[in-house]
Amino acid sequence: MKRSGTRATRGTSASRPWATKQASHPKVVEIVRLVEALSDGLGSHDGVLIGRGIARSLVDAYRERRQPMPRWVRELVAYYPPTRKS
């Protein structure tokens, strides 16, 4: 069964298949791929921290500008959820 054009077509990530199979916005897929490439060899936790930092920066930028957060930013935040403080 063939899927829509937003599905990633280049290699998939074994550790994070969500990015290539379920992300509906191409920007999210590309950011996740970039983070994975940047953190290759550092460990998955470091990649998650990088991704969370990017997502948080985007959220802060949209809030500061008092603009509605685009769907792709919400998807990125869902992919790299912030840690819960106890």
Residue 45 lies in a domain: yes
Name the most confidently modeled range: 14-18, 25-29, 36-40, 58-62: 58-62
Tell me which residue range forms the domain holding 71: 24-79
Residue 17 lies in a domain: no
Give mean pLDDT, residues 38-63.
91
Residue 31 lies in a domain: yes
Count of structural domains within the chain: 1
Residue 75 lies in a domain: yes
Using the predicted structure, report yes or no on whether residue 67 has a pLDDT greater than 90.
Answer: yes
For the chain, where are the alpha helices, taking DSSP H only?
18-21, 26-38, 44-64, 71-79
Residue 70 lies in a domain: yes
